[in-house]
């Protein structure tokens, strides 16, 4: 089975996505994910943290990847992990 090398440009692409214009468009992940969490709380009927929003979005990207490969899914999943960490309320 051929082995692919670890492509560091993928991680850099994710970093560029979450620290560039996207963050300026959507606000800091703690703010943006808090807004999303409030909407999810209404639907789910239970508290949702901003960090949980980011983690759940990783699952969305993984589900899409299982259906069809896209480098974007991987970059976005990494980006959501980075933003979930930035949205954590404890440290």
Per-residue pLDDT in tens (0 to 9) along the chain, 91 residues: 789 899 999 999 999 999 988 878 889 999 999 999 999 999 999 999 999 999 999 999 999 999 999 999 999 999 999 999 999 987 6
* Inside any domain, residue 42: yes
- How many domains are there within the chain? 1
* Long-range contacts, stretch 16-20, CB < 8 angstroms, 24+ apart: 17/75, 17/76, 17/79, 18/79, 18/82, 18/83, 18/86
* Inside any domain, residue 6: no
State which residues form the domain around 21.
14-87
Q: For the whole model, what pTM was predicted?
A: 0.89
Cα separation, 70 vs 74, whole angstroms: 7
Predicted pLDDT at 91: 60
Predicted pLDDT at 2: 83
* Inside any domain, residue 2: no
């Amino acid at each position: 089975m051929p082995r692919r090398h670890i492509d560091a440009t993928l991680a850099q692409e994710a970093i560029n996505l979450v620290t560039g214009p996207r963050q300026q468009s959507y606000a800091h992940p703690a703010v943006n994910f808090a807004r999303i969490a409030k909407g999810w709380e209404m639907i789910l009927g239970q508290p949702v943290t901003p960090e949980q929003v980011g983690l759940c979005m990783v699952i969305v990207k993984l589900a899409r990847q299982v259906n069809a490969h896209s480098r974007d899914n991987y970059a976005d999943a990494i980006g959501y992990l980075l933003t979930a960490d930035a949205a954590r309320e404890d440290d």
